[in-house]
Amino acid sequence: MKLVLEPIVKSEFEDLFVRIKEGIFPYVDAVFGWDDKFQRQRLENEYSLDWFYWVKMKQDRVGVLCYKRHNASCHVHWLIVFPEWRQRNIGTSIMAFVQKKARESGCTAVTLSSFKCNANAIQFYQGLGYVIIEEEEDFVSMSLSLR
């Protein structure tokens, strides 16, 4: 399966917001309660657009990836495979890509966080070898050593 990452541009912000909401709404709503205005402002103010990519297979957008280098690791903020594309190993392929890019850039680990209530995500990442390194009330932090 050939996946391509395409940078997201400012004019696509609304599409990005809609897809992120689609992916994280149930978890954010369960923990904090969803507030469109707050989540939109958070996305605009706390994340850099150059961390975001459309994941494409041929000409189809199949997901969104948000990741960046952070110190000696690469941190995945969001990996959202669109519902109509799930169960096709796309998430596994994306994470293999992230790990390859992280190694190439000299990172020693890939890190991420997940809502505790998102059991499918936690199970997915554990299946890829990620381990829980920290637990909070509503979140887990996970890491995969690249050494």
- 38-77 pLDDT, tens digit per residue, is 999 999 999 999 999 999 999 999 999 999 998 899 999 9
Res. 27: pLDDT tops 80: yes
Bridge partners (DSSP) of residue 131 are 143
pTM: 0.93
Q: In what order do the strands lie in the sheet containing 73-81?
A: 3-7, 52-57, 60-70, 73-81, 109-115, 139-145, 131-135
Check which CATH number belongs to the domain holding 22 and give it.
3.40.630.30
Q: What is the CA radius of gyration of the chain?
A: 15
Q: Are 65 and 77 in contact (CB under 8 A)?
A: no
Tell me how far apart the alpha carbons of residues 124 and 71 are, in angstroms, rounded to a whole number: 25
Domain count, the chain: 1
Residue-number span of the structural domain to which 80 is assigned: 3-145
Q: What does the pLDDT look like over 67-120, one tens digit per residue?
A: 999 889 999 999 999 999 999 999 999 999 999 999 999 999 999 999 999 999
DSSP letter string, 108-132: SEEEEEEETT-HHHHHHHHHTT-EE
CB count in 10 Å sphere of residue 9? 12
pLDDT band at 146 (very low <50, low <70, confident <90, very high): very high
